[in-house]
Amino acid sequence: MTLLIRFLTSNIGRKVLMALTGLFLIFFLIIHLSGNLLVFKSAAAFNDYSEKLLANELIYVAEIGLLVAFVAHFISGIAVTLQNRAARPIGYAVKRRAGHTSHKSLASTTMILTGIVVLAFVPIHLITFKYGTHYAVAGNPHQRDLYRLVIEEFHEPLEVVWYVVAMVIIGFHLWHGFGSGFESLGVAYRKPLRRFGQALAVIIAGGFAIIPVLVFLGR
| 180 or 168, which is more confident | 168
What pTM does this model have? Answer: 0.85
CATH fold, domain 2-87+103-216, is 3 helical TM bundles of succinate and fumarate reductases (1.20.1300)
**pLDDT band at 193; cut points 50, 70, 90:** confident
Give the residue-averaged pLDDT of 29-36. 95
pLDDT at residue 100, rounded to an integer: 47
**Higher pLDDT among residues 46 and 59, named by residue:** 46
Cα–Cα distance list, 39 to 52, 146, 147, 207 (Å): 15, 10, 7, 12
Residues 177 and 114: beta-carbon distance below 8 Å: no
| Mean pLDDT along residues 90-115 | 62
Per-residue pLDDT for 104 more than 50?
Answer: yes
Check residue 85 and give left, alpha or beta (phi > 0: left; psi -120 to 50: alpha): alpha
| Residue 163: C-alpha distances to residues 32, 85, 116, 156, 166 (Å) | 15, 32, 15, 11, 5
Go through the chain and tell me how many residues it has. Answer: 219
Could you tell me if 148 and 43 are in contact, meaning their C-beta atoms sit under 8 angstroms apart?
Answer: yes
The residues that bridge with 144 in the sheet, in sequence order, are 136
Q: Which of 67-71, 95-99, 152-156 has the lowest mean pLDDT?
A: 95-99
Query: In this predicted structure, what is the pLDDT of residue 145?
Result: 95
Cβ–Cβ under 8 Å, residues 46 and 39: yes
Measured CA to CA, the distance from residue 203 to residue 152 in angstroms comes to 25
On average, the pLDDT of the chain sits at 86
pLDDT value for 96: 53
d(CA 107, CA 170): 10
- Better-predicted residue by pLDDT, 190 or 93: 190
Helix residue ranges per DSSP H, the chain = 2-8, 11-36, 43-55, 59-87, 106-109, 111-125, 146-153, 157-184, 191-216
